[in-house]
Chains A and B, each alone.
Chain A
Amino acid sequence: MKLFVHNFMSSRFLKNVTVGYPLELTVKQFEEKDIEFDRENTIVMLDKVQYEALLVAAAAVNQADRIPSEQPAKYDELSDDQLKQFHHILMNIDVVDGELICPETKTVFPIRDGIPNMLKVDAEK
């Protein structure tokens, strides 16, 4: 699971959960791949993500220091080097083994072989 995907996920589908976002993330194992950087693409993607969740994801792999703790005002004014740090967090890091946890109910959803299992019935077993 790319950290980009984490940014869109929520446990809002669970009963009595009002926001369910961002999901807490614990990472037991991850891989770093070299996905081709594209400046325009990265800017468009950053416009889609929620910064708060991005910080949660970066911290989960101990790489929060790659990106600013405050959301930059304008992404298209960032240098290539700065954008590459964002690209690295969002696209290069692949969580192989870990857990996603609902911030409200603390329901645990496992990530195995890079695939998060968000089935409620499995989580409730």
Chain B
Amino acid sequence: MDIINDYLQFLLVSNSSILCNVSLEELEAIFLPLDEDAEFIVYPNKRSYSFVQCSSVEKAITVRSELHGLIPQSLKNSHQLFIISFVQNLPKAKKSENFRPADLEVVEDYVSEQIEKELVDLLINHPEGKLAKICMLSYFYFLVQSLKHRAVVHFGHVFDYSTNSASEWKAADPIPPVINTLIDKLMSEKYITERPDQITANVYEPGHGIPSHYDTHSAFEDPIVSISLLSDVVMEFKDGANSARIAPVLLKSKSLCLIKGESRFRWKHGIVNRKYDVDPRTNRVVPRKTRVSLTLRKIRHNPCECKWKEFCDWDRKGEMSVPSSEDLALKLENSYVSDVYENIASHFDETRHSSWRAVKNFIDEIPRGSVMYDVGCGNGKYLIPKDGLFKIGCDMCFGLCEIASKKNCHIVRCDALLLPFRDESADAAISIAVLHHIATFERRKKMIEELLRVVKPGSKICVTVWSMDQSKSEYAKMRGNKDEQLTENETGGKSDRLKVHDGKDFQQQDVLVPWTIDQQGETYLRYYHVFRDGEAEHLIGNVDDCELVSVEKEQGNYIIVIRKNCFSSN
């Protein structure tokens, strides 16, 4: 954003957001008396500033001179000065903050006041002491007794929190008539096709929420039905493939929410611990009251077969396992490397231009007039520079071959493990960010052997891979604010199951890393085997006829240089 010295009607007001305890209502009370036609752009989270569009440049100058450098007196909870600058433009409306996950359905006013009252009465009279003392106060109900974090009552079956799975169900109180009537209504209106048999009622006090989570795939059928009573609340949905994609959804009191399909299987949902919400449609503050939620689920008795298998809770008959054989590795590489690159080729080209320093140094040291192969050349960024080398690139991805070919690079389409070059025909080779897409140790070894086959004895080869440790990389910085707290069942290190990478640090070596084309959510998952410290040394140590020259770390990558022996050991 350009902060400028010229006077314009657009103002950037620092320390003026919800994060700084300043609501839109308070901003209006401060600015509108100075410019009654001022308009506001505010952010519900993550930003500490707001924008004000004044009706004229003169008004903007007045507003700024009145408020800049002050804490307006009407603000009780803010302790930071308003810093006001003129800006060139207002940011484009952030539509993405107003999207919903696919397949989510919300029906407002689904439950009548009468049913709401009956449901709440039912919980008041329920023997579980926690819910005992709710009394009526004016129009709404309030809890007078301080409840623990969340008060819970189950009907039908009791969900055993210690296992998070469907295997441990105990019979609970029978489903009461008022809830059965509600289920009849849901069935007859075709919102659901199977009768829920596990009902959970939760009471949330203002300030209390629930951590972001998936309803375990294999535990319940689709959909999950959620009914909100007594208070509005904002439920946050987070894309499992990119936790920076957060969709806040207002669930009004008496609304029906059907969490199904993508919104159930790929997105996590949760409620932030706070006493107010910001309506995502108006950016207005909505205070929370005591809220009762009714969750209706059908217990699943067979493992989940959803199409969001990467996010599923089991290995899907081995399809989501770290491959243990050549055949499984090939299948995985086809689906989660080759096919993905074909889909993202043009977007990949738009985003891949800068060179790694260590790779550039490697190329600079190759004598002019040498022949160099670039295996997995992508959009051809190392082939383009005219550096006196004869360079031939190859890639498995047809889309990237086409892109590089249009840039007048010499291109061949092939498999990195089956190079279409004659033995000992090149003076050097590079393979940048390819080896980590190969899914077994044996195949990674084979790829190195194939690179060695096509270069002359004594030639050097530069291979780069992603490191498991991304602490100093641009990628990590980029994703820095996307980091998420680890949930309990995510443990680091070895795993037999491929997992969708989320956050900054890799939790395991075999991962599916999202490639997001835009905020509208076109996401592809690429398979990576990220390297541990010492793994490059181990791999090269297992390959004959070569020596390891160096392993350097640059921005979350290992830059591995090897040399083919001058005399074969055979």
B418 and A9 form a contact (CB under 8 A): no
A116 and B412 form a contact (CB under 8 A): yes
Instruction: Answer yes or no: B411 CB below 8 A from chain A CBs.
Output: yes
Minimum CB–CB distance for B408 against chain A, Å? 9
With A5-B412, A45-B390, A120-B415 in contact, do A114 and B405 touch (Cβ < 8 Å)?
yes
A115 and B422 form a contact (CB under 8 A): no
Give the residues in chain A near B414, CB-CB below 8 Å. 13, 118-119
Instruction: Answer yes or no: A106 CB below 8 A from chain B CBs.
Output: no
B426 and A8 form a contact (CB under 8 A): yes
Minimum CB–CB distance for B4 against chain A, Å? 47
Give the residues in chain B near A118, CB-CB below 8 Å. 394, 412-415, 418, 420
A13 and B419 form a contact (CB under 8 A): yes
A10 and B405 form a contact (CB under 8 A): no
Interface code B392-431, partner A: CB below 8 Å = 1, 0 otherwise? Answer: 1010101001100100001111110011111101100000
Give the residues in chain A near B392, CB-CB below 8 Å. 5, 8
Minimum CB–CB distance for B345 against chain A, Å? 13
Interface centre among B410, B413, B453 (most CB of A within 10 A): B413
Instruction: Answer yes or no: A2 CB below 8 A from chain B CBs.
Output: yes
With A115-B412, A120-B415 in contact, do A9 and B405 touch (Cβ < 8 Å)?
no
Determine the residue in chain A with the shortest Cβ distance to B368: A44
With A115-B402, A115-B411 in contact, do A13 and B422 touch (Cβ < 8 Å)?
no
B371 and A8 form a contact (CB under 8 A): yes
Instruction: Give the number of A-B contacts (CB < 8 Å).
Output: 78
A8 and B421 form a contact (CB under 8 A): yes
Determine the residue in chain B with the shortest Cβ distance to A21: B422
Cα-based distance from A1 to B401 in the complex (angstroms): 12
Give the residues in chain B near A11, CB-CB below 8 Å. 420
Minimum CB–CB distance for A8 against chain B, Å? 5
With A48-B371, A114-B405, A119-B396 in contact, do A8 and B422 touch (Cβ < 8 Å)?
yes
Instruction: Answer yes or no: B69 CB below 8 A from chain A CBs.
Output: no
B420 and A10 form a contact (CB under 8 A): yes
Minimum CB–CB distance for A39 against chain B, Å? 13
With A4-B390, A45-B390, A115-B402 in contact, do A12 and B422 touch (Cβ < 8 Å)?
yes
Instruction: Answer yes or no: A32 CB below 8 A from chain B CBs.
Output: no
Cα-based distance from A8 to B418 in the complex (angstroms): 14
Interface centre among B390, B411, B412 (most CB of A within 10 A): B412
A115 and B401 form a contact (CB under 8 A): yes
Interface code A69-101, partner B: CB below 8 Å = 1, 0 otherwise? Answer: 000000000000000000000000000000000
With A8-B371, A44-B369, A48-B390 in contact, do A115 and B413 touch (Cβ < 8 Å)?
yes
Instruction: Answer yes or no: A63 CB below 8 A from chain B CBs.
Output: no
B410 and A5 form a contact (CB under 8 A): yes
A116 and B413 form a contact (CB under 8 A): yes
Give the residues in chain A near B411, CB-CB below 8 Å. 1, 115
The residues in A between 30 and 49 inclusive whose CB is less than 8 angstroms from any CB of B are 41, 44-45, 47-48
B421 and A9 form a contact (CB under 8 A): yes
Cα-based distance from A11 to B419 in the complex (angstroms): 8
Cα-based distance from A74 to B246 in the complex (angstroms): 68
Give the residues in chain A near B401, CB-CB below 8 Å. 115
B415 and A20 form a contact (CB under 8 A): no
Give the residues in chain B near A1, CB-CB below 8 Å. 410-412
Cα-based distance from A113 to B406 in the complex (angstroms): 10
Give the residues in chain A near B425, CB-CB below 8 Å. 8, 10
Cα-based distance from A20 to B414 in the complex (angstroms): 16
Cα-based distance from A118 to B411 in the complex (angstroms): 11
Give the residues in chain B near A29, CB-CB below 8 Å. none
Instruction: Answer yes or no: A105 CB below 8 A from chain B CBs.
Output: no
Cα-based distance from A5 to B413 in the complex (angstroms): 12
Cα-based distance from A109 to B368 in the complex (angstroms): 32
B422 and A9 form a contact (CB under 8 A): yes
Cα-based distance from A8 to B393 in the complex (angstroms): 12
Give the residues in chain A near B410, CB-CB below 8 Å. 1-2, 4-5
Give the residues in chain A near B421, CB-CB below 8 Å. 8-10, 12
Interface code B423-457, partner A: CB below 8 Å = 1, 0 otherwise? Answer: 10110000000000000000000000010010000
Interface code B164-206, partner A: CB below 8 Å = 1, 0 otherwise? Answer: 0000000000000000000000000000000000000000000
Cα-based distance from A125 to B405 in the complex (angstroms): 25
Cα-based distance from A97 to B322 in the complex (angstroms): 40
B423 and A12 form a contact (CB under 8 A): yes
Minimum CB–CB distance for B420 against chain A, Å? 4
Give the residues in chain A near B422, CB-CB below 8 Å. 8-10, 12, 19-21
Cα-based distance from A119 to B395 in the complex (angstroms): 10
Cα-based distance from A2 to B409 in the complex (angstroms): 10
Cα-based distance from A45 to B412 in the complex (angstroms): 19
Give the residues in chain B near A121, CB-CB below 8 Å. 415
Give the residues in chain B near A2, CB-CB below 8 Å. 410
Cα-based distance from A1 to B402 in the complex (angstroms): 12
Determine the residue in chain B with the shortest Cβ distance to A9: B420
Cα-based distance from A113 to B402 in the complex (angstroms): 8
Binding site for A on B (CB under 8 A): 368-369, 371, 388, 390, 392, 394, 396, 398, 401-402, 405, 410-415, 418-423, 425-426, 450, 453
New A-B contacts (20) at CB < 8 Å, excluding given A115-B402, A119-B415: A5-B392, A8-B371, A8-B392, A9-B420, A9-B422, A10-B420, A10-B423, A12-B421, A12-B453, A13-B420, A19-B422, A20-B422, A48-B369, A48-B371, A115-B413, A116-B413, A118-B415, A118-B418, A119-B413, A119-B414
Chosen A-B contacts, 10 in total, with CB atoms closer than 8 Å, are A5-B410, A8-B371, A8-B425, A9-B422, A10-B422, A12-B421, A21-B422, A44-B369, A113-B402, A118-B394
